Amino acid sequence: MNRRTLLKFVGRAGGAAAVLTTMNAMGLLHTQATANTRPNLISQSGDGTRVVILGAGIAGLTAAYELSKAGYDCTVLEARDRAGGRNWTIRGGDVIRETDTQQTCPFEADPHLYFNTGPARLPHHHTNILGYCKELGVPLEVIVNDNRAAYFQDDAAFGGQPMLNRRILNDSRGYIAELLAKAIHNHALENDLTVEDKERILEFVSRFGDLDADYLYKGSGRAGYTTPPGAAMVSGSKYDPIDLSELLNSDFWRFKLNFAEGFNQAATMLQPIGGMDQIVKAFERQVGHLIQFNTEVTQIRKLGNGVRIVYTDRSNGAESAVEADFVICTLPLSVLAGIDADFSTDYKAAIDRASKGYINAVKHAFQADRRFWEEDHQIYGGISWTTRDITQIWYPANGFHGAKGVIVGAYIWDNEIAARVDTLPPEERLVKAIEDGSTIHPNYRDEVAPAQGCSVAWGKIPYSQGGWMEWDEATRADVYPILNQPDGPIYLAGEHLSYLTGWQEGAVLSAHEAVRGLAAQIQSRQAS
């Protein structure tokens, strides 16, 4: 007996509820988004089934693309006048609207002068979003994420002076290696090492930390040179090692030093040529005709086995409605919590509780009329870190040796800092960002100006109301499983319903799960 026949018998005996229970036990229903393959829907299997997708971000575009290929009748309602959601690349002349302010991006027209306000990098192992880039013809290029030529700056250490990434990293490794070598020589690991292991591990730590013959760290060329090696008799002068106590006084060893070692990070990553929104544009070429822009959803109503969506046309204020068999809602939970909806009591409570978990990320960017980071500091891409509010400065990994460039002057993902920053008018944010950036680049004020900058505070962006979801342990355990199941004909999807929150891969995987779950529910109805 095959699965389809079994489900038919179950449906005859116990109805749709019994079929769904059986399918869940067989692993055929909507589950939490994890790494997996794409939905494999049978061609034209969706004929006669209407699906409304709320939101034209990456999750919504993915769902529309996969369902429409299988013949589903899809409509995508998007409150903005653009697709992409938090995948948003802005260029000169683009308007940034926050809840209480409006800016116009001042950048000049140039293919390299753009600002990825949301996602800005793609890990090599995010195979689903990369697969769509390949399938939809989105060319990629390498982005430098971690650069030894960039800086660490901490007001509480090094006299507040910026220190080269390579010095901090390699001096830290050298001291760790020296301490381990001393422990081995002092027989601290005697019970854990054979004689042969001891010899090998001493050589290992010596090479790891670039120790001298006495297993002491006295500086390394890996940390850089005050006078670089050159021709003839110029052998170079190495930096003196930073005192270990000074390294310990700094903030960077807590996580910033090993930030690029995170599973979703790397020294080099990928980005679409011309801006992250090239992915959105590629999806639009496939499903753009399905999107209704400027349609703000105001009500979600269940209708037996279907659903009715009420929305307002933002261009003229007219109210309309659309009915469908299913809804895939990709709206951020921070937005969904404010919509009048017929969710079950437990579902609504889960949405309300989870909606408070968003990170209100803030980004600033400036057009610089001179690529001073390249000319003065030989920095080609990568990130400098500071303990100041701006947290990071990102250097562009495109347009190398061009006349001008866009430098990301702040990337903030701490809600405490964001609360201080996003209450300021955009111009004041930019002034403060230049002040903070000057601790890394003393000539910063001469190179960038508020008039050539713009700022995006995601907590104040309508229809987003946050940068991404950050689940705590309790809500992940209690709330997350509830929202990963449908509420009747309503499915939720988005980065927030994945273990890759804040990444486009999470949005894609979650959309795949919703598509699979929806298709399985149709099968259960047919079987019963």
- Walk along the chain (528 residues) and give the pLDDT tens digit of each residue: 555 555 555 545 544 445 444 555 554 445 566 556 889 888 888 899 999 999 999 999 999 999 999 999 999 999 999 999 999 999 999 999 999 999 999 999 999 999 999 999 999 999 999 999 999 999 999 999 999 999 999 999 999 999 999 999 999 999 999 999 999 888 777 666 788 888 888 999 999 999 999 999 999 999 999 998 999 988 899 999 999 999 999 989 888 889 999 999 999 999 999 999 999 999 999 999 999 999 999 999 999 889 999 999 999 999 999 999 999 999 999 999 999 999 999 999 999 999 999 999 999 999 999 999 999 999 999 999 999 999 999 999 999 999 999 999 999 999 999 999 999 999 999 999 999 999 999 999 999 999 999 999 999 999 999 999 999 999 999 999 999 999 999 999 999 999 999 999 999 999 999 999 999 888 877 766
Same domain, 377 and 270: yes
Cα–Cα distance between 511 and 68 in angstroms, integer?
Answer: 13
Q: What is the phi/psi pair of residue 184, to 5°?
A: -65, -45
Q: What is the phi/psi pair of residue 192, to 5°?
A: -100, -10
Angle, CA 512 vertex, CA 509 and CA 514 arms, to 5° = 115
Same domain, 368 and 272: yes
245 in any annotated domain? yes
How far apart, in Å, are the Cα atoms of 270 and each of 398, 404, 405? Answer: 11, 22, 19
Angle, CA 223 vertex, CA 217 and CA 227 arms, to 5° = 115
The domain spanning residue 196 has which CATH number? 1.20.1440.240
pLDDT of residue 37: 80
Cα–Cα distance between 279 and 87 in angstroms, integer?
Answer: 9
210 residue type, one letter: D
Same domain, 207 and 308: no
472 in any annotated domain? yes
* Residue from 118, 148, 136, 143 nearest 413 by CA: 118
Cα–Cα distance between 185 and 193 in angstroms, integer?
Answer: 12
Among residues 438, 460, 482, the one where a domain terminates is 460
Same domain, 104 and 224: no
The domain spanning residue 378 has which CATH number? 3.90.660.10
Q: Are 336 and 350 in contact (CB under 8 A)?
A: no
Same domain, 311 and 383: no
Among residues 443, 460, 477, the one where a domain terminates is 460
Same domain, 423 and 491: no
pLDDT of residue 105: 98
The domain spanning residue 506 has which CATH number? 3.50.50.60
Same domain, 455 and 370: yes
- Domain of 196 in residue numbering reads as 165-250
Q: What is the phi/psi pair of residue 201, to 5°?
A: -70, -30
261 in any annotated domain? no
159 in any annotated domain? no
Can you say whether residue 475 is alpha, beta or left, with left for phi > 0 and alpha for psi between -120 and 50 degrees?
alpha
What is the DSSP code (8-state) at residue 496?
G
Among residues 460, 488, 510, the one where a domain terminates is 460
309 in any annotated domain? yes
Overall number of domains in the chain: 3
Same domain, 142 and 185: no
Cα–Cα distance between 420 and 459 in angstroms, integer?
Answer: 12
Q: Tokens representing 491?
A: 């499915």
Residue 131: CB atoms within 10 A of its CB come to 13
Q: Tokens representing 66?
A: 């996969």
Same domain, 336 and 298: yes
Same domain, 222 and 300: no
pLDDT of residue 190: 67
How far apart, in Å, are the Cα atoms of 58 and each of 159, 291, 317, 355? Answer: 45, 13, 27, 19
Can you say whether residue 217 is alpha, beta or left, with left for phi > 0 and alpha for psi between -120 and 50 degrees?
beta
Q: At what angle do helices 278-287 and 127-135 cross, to 10 degrees?
A: 60
174 in any annotated domain? yes
Q: What is the phi/psi pair of residue 323, to 5°?
A: -110, 150
106 residue type, one letter: P
Q: Report yes or no on whether pTM surpasses 0.85.
A: yes
Q: Are 345 and 359 in contact (CB under 8 A)?
A: no
259 in any annotated domain? no
The number of residues making up the chain comes to 528
Same domain, 51 and 189: no
Q: Tokens representing 450?
A: 């508020």
* Residue from 80, 86, 56 nearest 456 by CA: 86
pLDDT of residue 15: 47
160 in any annotated domain? no
How far apart, in Å, are the Cα atoms of 462 and each of 100, 117, 309? Answer: 10, 14, 20
Q: Are 409 and 435 in contact (CB under 8 A)?
A: no
Same domain, 312 and 332: yes
Q: Tokens representing 196?
A: 């042969």
